[in-house]
């Protein structure tokens, strides 16, 4: 049961980090600092007041940047490498004491999950930016922040529920990506030659 709880936190925090790394780090840091729930001692680094302060400040910058069309896309582009690395770091921290092989596996899993949610978010933002009104950006930003905070809180208190939510979201991301890839291939496929 403990293994599933660790997996639930690993996937949930990595998924959330791909959407908003700074909100995720701030939330984990606050939980560690105030001892909201028992966490592995490796989470203590996130509970450092400097880490919480920097993550909170960067979250405020992201909160504003996410509301401005095309600025959000530029912000997401800059974070293409940052968010997966953050997801990997959160995944490794969720393990506690573990073998080096398990840590590498967790880092790969966390980085991949964070990258998947990051590219999903970034893609949705590019589509929203083609709309002439700014409200879709604001709505997406608020939904993303709500998702990150909600999933983070669930992962802290109910990691098994977070595991189920994370697996469901990852399944939707993979299914959507598969459909998009097929649609793009069909769009750019050469038309079949008609016999003369």
CA–CA separation, 13 and 1 (whole Å): 18
Question: Among the listed ranges 2-6, 81-85, 111-115, 164-168, which one has the minimum average pLDDT value?
Answer: 2-6
For the chain, the domains span 2-188
Mean pLDDT of 25-53: 91
pLDDT at 191: 62
Mean pLDDT of 128-153: 87
pLDDT at 132: 75
Confidence of residue 136 (pLDDT cuts 50, 70, 90): confident
- pLDDT averaged over the chain? 89
Which residue is listed with tokens 């994370």? Answer: 166
Does residue 133 have a pLDDT over 90?
Answer: no
Say how far residue 182 (Cα) sits from the centre of its chain.
Answer: 24
Q: Is the separation of the CB atoms in 104 and 4 below 8 Å?
A: no
Helix (H, G, I), strand (E, B) or coil at 133: coil
Q: Is the separation of the CB atoms in 93 and 46 below 8 Å?
A: yes
pLDDT at 43: 84
Residue 128 phi/psi, 5° resolution? Answer: -65, -30
Confidence of residue 26 (pLDDT cuts 50, 70, 90): very high
pLDDT at 193: 57
Output the CA torsion 166→172→175→178 (10° steps). Answer: -90
Confidence of residue 54 (pLDDT cuts 50, 70, 90): very high
pLDDT at 131: 76
Confidence of residue 129 (pLDDT cuts 50, 70, 90): confident
pLDDT (tens digit per residue) in 62-89: 999 988 888 888 999 999 999 999 999 9
pLDDT at 97: 77
- High-pLDDT (> 90) share of the chain, %: 60
Confidence of residue 93 (pLDDT cuts 50, 70, 90): confident
């Amino acid at each position: 049961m403990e293994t599933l709880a660790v997996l639930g936190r690993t996937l949930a925090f990595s998924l959330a980090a791909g959407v908003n790394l700074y909100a995720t780090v701030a939330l984990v840091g606050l939980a560690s600092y105030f001892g909201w729930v028992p966490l592995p001692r490796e989470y203590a680094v996130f509970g450092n007041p400097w880490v919480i302060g920097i993550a909170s400040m960067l979250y405020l910058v992201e909160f504003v940047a996410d509301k401005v069309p095309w600025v959000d896309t530029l912000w997401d582009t800059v974070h293409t490498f940052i968010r997966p690395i953050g997801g990997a770091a959160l995944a490794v921290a969720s393990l506690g004491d573990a073998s080096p092989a398990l840590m590498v596996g967790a880092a790969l899993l966390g980085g991949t999950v964070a990258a998947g949610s990051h590219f999903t978010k970034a893609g949705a933002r590019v589509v929203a930016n083609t709309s002439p009104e700014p409200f879709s950006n604001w709505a997406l930003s608020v939904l993303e922040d709500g998702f990150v905070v909600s999933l983070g809180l669930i992962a802290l208190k109910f990691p098994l529920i977070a595991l189920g939510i994370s697996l469901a979201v990852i399944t939707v991301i993979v299914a959507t990506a598969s459909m998009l890839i097929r649609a793009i291939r069909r769009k750019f496929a050469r038309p079949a030659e008609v016999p003369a």
